[in-house]
Amino acid sequence: MIPLRFLDDVMRLKVVPRSGWISYRISKHDIESVSSHSYSVAVIALTLSEMARQRTRGVDIERVLKMALLHDLSESLTFDISKAYLRYLGRRGSQLKTRLERKAISRILSGLENERLVRAFRTTIEEYSSSKSLEARIVHSADALDLLLQIIEYERMGYSKTTLDPIWNETKSKLVGYRFTLADEWLRELERVRRGLHIKTRGRKSGSVLLRT
């Protein structure tokens, strides 16, 4: 009855590190788990959705949250395949990644031992992958926004802006690509916050708006 194999895979996400950060010289001890990341994505997506609803109605929050919770589930088996990795494989790298993740998802979902639930979860993941629906674009935007917020956190800890610049710029481009207005507005403000961290003028008050302690 209890889907032990599936739960085993879900629990492992607590200890699977987001290894991509290694390439940006984040200490392995400060690298978040996939679970931690997915949690932030879900809360950001929830907030974006509620705000979008206030403007325009018509966001299906149940679908948004399901996608946010399941979007990185495959990493329980694939362990966050290095992005650098895919880069040197060129176009085929992306295809390969997609294929590997699909296989991993099938394997993980089979652990549910509940055919209707497998179909439901697979549908959710496929909606996310196709990046078309408003709901999917909200989750993709939340995924990128969490990355940008995390970069700001790392820079507040003292990690090097120079080392993190490439991932900031790449993520910014992706975010713009999702064409979700609210996220664009947030992005502009995050850029301002990040600039504020690195301006060192004599006499500046220490409290940036985000630096509430």
Residues 154-213 that bind a second copy (CB under 8 A): 155-160, 162-163, 165-167, 169, 185-186, 189-190, 193, 197, 200, 206-213
For residues 57-86, which are near a second copy according to CB under 8 A? 61-62, 65-66, 69-70, 77-82, 84-85
Among the candidate windows 34-42, 128-136, 171-179, which touches a second copy by CB under 8 A?
A: 34-42
Per-residue contact string for residues 134-153; x = within reach of a second copy by CB under 8 A: ---------------xx--x
Distance CA 149, CA 177 (A): 18
Location of structure tokens 């929050």: 61
Distance CA 110, CA 117 (A): 10
Least distance to a second copy, CB of residue 177, Å: 19
The answer for residues whose C-beta is within 8 angstroms of residue 112's C-beta and 6 or more apart is 3, 6, 118, 121
Degrees, nearest 5: CA angle 186-146-35: 155
Least distance to a second copy, CB of residue 131, Å: 21
Distance CA 76, CA 34 (A): 8
Interface with a second copy (CB under 8 A), residue from 55, 103, 132, 179 = 103
